Structure 1
Amino acid sequence: MTVLTNDTGTPDRRSLHERIAADLRDEIMSGDLAAGASLPSTAQLKERFDASNATIQKALQLLKDERLVVGRPGAAVTVREHRQRTMRPASYMTPAPSGHPYRWLTEAAKLGARPDSSLLDVRETSAPADVAAALRIAGDETVILREQVLTLDDEPVELVKSYYPMAVARGTAITEKRKIRGGTPALLAELGFPPRTSVDRVSARVPTQEQYRALRLPSDLPVLRTLRVVFSDEERPIEATVMVKAGHLYELQYEFSAE
């Protein structure tokens, strides 16, 4: 296997087909290869990357497995429509009006897909260290965990784990294993804890075994992990949520004013 180096001399020890897939993946995700466009022919890719036909086919298979492109033998390989969805977290933090669905569902529907959520579990548990710190509680203090998976067109897109301090959740529907009409933001507002601000910490990570299975990931490509802390009046943390989505299929857009 040929080992390439970058300008700093660091070797790229990935196999050639992985390197080719990485370059094409970047062009797809940046829009240089637009949704619906055909990829260069196998002959063109062979010349560009100085690779064999078998190597090019292995690279293309990676992209097919990642649901970035579609194609069949003898036909052109094209970039999949909606190959990368842009999610705007600020659009679904505000509580939904009474009787309306959770805002993530209505906002996701605007992307032209069919959204749904499945509640996996609701239980008392201890919180991960970063969640406990965000909620300003002791590491051994019990919280309520609500775990769900969000889907678009029956494909899992996000694994969500929301943690609530017992002082906020005790005796409320948050502790019950059932969906909450309008989502927990609406319920929190009704309970006297209106969401006022949120802080997101976003990182790229290699998926855990649980995340790999829940999101049906094709490989160990990085996932986007967001730790969102929601604050109510007097900057009281009322919810900390860990959201994980496939990094090669989704991007996050944050909008800020100059004020």
Structure 2
Amino acid sequence: MIKFFRKIRQNLLSEGKTGKYLKYAIGEIILVMFGILLALQVNNWNQQKQITKKEHRLLLELKNDLIGTQNELKGDIFTLNELIETSDSIIQYLDTIHYEEYDKSIFGMKMGWALTNVKLYPRIIAYENLKSLGPEIISNDSIRFHITDIFDRRLHRISLWENSAVESEANLYNSLVPHFKSIKTVEEDWGYFLVPDKFNELSQKLYINRLGLLQNDRKLLHYLYKTLLDQITKVLVLIENEKI
């Protein structure tokens, strides 16, 4: 092709057609520039296509991880509801009876459950991939904002309050040890229950206060879980609308 164009230029010069030669040369330059621009455009298109493929693959991974975390959250919220209701009923019970009038069966059924806690284990593999690729790979501003907010802020805050609840639970357990004993279940082999042994008015008030502090942590954690669940649901709708 180059030899062909060169031969045309040589013929024009040999024939003394300078004007036509200049016009041809300019046309050839324009043609070459057009070819370069076209090649660049094709290259940019191919690169953008690869980026879009990576984005869609990442969004699909994020979607799967968020669905897994969503299911975990639903289970943890249900468990927290049960823990809060059980502990509230124990506090109400202790508030309305004298310390010598407690019912061992009530404590036997509820005490161990009140000392249980929950911990969220979110799926974060896709987000780790996002950090390595860079958040700008997600072209949808709303999705990018919510994803970074969930993984960088909300989950961190939840982890802090989970640790606070664990600490409150440990303080509650340590305050119970001197005043409670373990008894084996009778009707079914459920292991051992904690029931008051050397219980008095002071230990009763201490237990109520410590359980109340644990309840505060649980109720805030419940709120954080619920708001995270709502945000995840919103993000899943946004990802679904991308039609990946």
The answer, yes or no, to whether TM exceeds 0.5 is no
Higher helix share: 2
Query: Of the two structures, which has the highest relative contact order with CA contacts closer than 8 Å and spacing of 6 or more?
Result: 2
Higher strand share: 1
> TM-score with structure 2 length normalisation?
0.22
> TM-score with structure 1 length normalisation?
0.22
Query: Which one has the largest radius of gyration?
Result: 2
